[in-house]
A and B are shown apart, each in its own frame.
Chain A
Amino acid sequence: QVQLQQWGAGLLKPSETLSLTCAVYGGSFSTYYWTWIRQTPGKGLEWIGDINDSGSSNINPSLTSRVTISVDTSKNQFSLKMTSVTAADTAVYYCSRGVWQRVPPLSFTSYMDVWGKGTTVTVS
């Protein structure tokens, strides 16, 4: 059974860099899209971005200037860095495993089937 274990600093000051890492245990690291999602207090889910095992990443257009997602296939880990954080970045951050597949003839499917427990990050 695949498990995701995430860690990183939970308290940051404004202008500092958020850094989180997620380790994948019990499954293949390839063919998936390793994803970061956040949830601000009392709000919905916001996709931050994802990366595949080749290192190709996609980032939320609203965060591209501040976010980097990287992958270390030798350790089955992926990481999130977000620079210049503000109070608006206070949220629970989740790592997850994403699937993105073509469904012939013309459709696609995309979902996140395994989630980490979340890391609360407070910027104050």
Chain B
Amino acid sequence: SSELTQDPAVSVALGQTVRITCQGDSLGKYFASWYQQKPGQAPILVLYHKNFRPSGIPDRISASSSGNTASLTVTGVRAEDEAVYYCSSRDSSDNHVIFGGGTRLTVL
């Protein structure tokens, strides 16, 4: 399969914890990567490999996975976490990169 499925939107109260999920057959072979995109900006990598964060990404953003589902969890959500989050991997043939449709995180 060459698809990654994400819920279109999720909302969370300030200071609470939220999980964003990504499902796809390729995730049985690939670790998902996660990107955060704020309006008018380029996406930035926030999680990759098993649960690695690039420099500058806070440790309250973490990754986990189970079978064909990958998850991004934000603990103690802040207003600055409001963004669209995309998951990605290569497809099962290894030849192409695929993205999920994105999940818009709204902080209440």
Contacts and interface: CB of A to CB of B under 8 A. Distances in A.
Interface of A: 35, 44-47, 50, 58, 60-61, 94, 98-100, 103, 106-113, 115-118
A107 B48 CA distance: 13
A110 B48 CA distance: 8
Contact of A111 (B48, B95, B98, B101): B48
Interface of B: 29-31, 33, 35, 42-45, 48-49, 54, 86, 88-90, 94-102
B44 A115 contact: yes
Contacts of B29: 106-108
A108 B97 contact: no
A103 to B, nearest CB: 7
Contacts of A61: 96
Contacts of A94: 42-43
Contacts of A50: 97
B98 to A, nearest CB: 7
30 contacts: A35-B97, A44-B86, A44-B99, A44-B101, A45-B43, A45-B86, A45-B88, A47-B98, A47-B99, A50-B97, A60-B96, A94-B42, A94-B43, A99-B48, A100-B90, A103-B31, A103-B49, A107-B29, A107-B31, A108-B30, A108-B94, A109-B49, A110-B33, A110-B97, A111-B33, A111-B45, A112-B33, A112-B88, A113-B54, A116-B42
A50 B102 CA distance: 21
List of 3 A-B pairs having minimum Cβ-Cβ separation, nearest first: A111-B33, A111-B48, A47-B97
B88 to A, nearest CB: 7
A99 B88 CA distance: 12
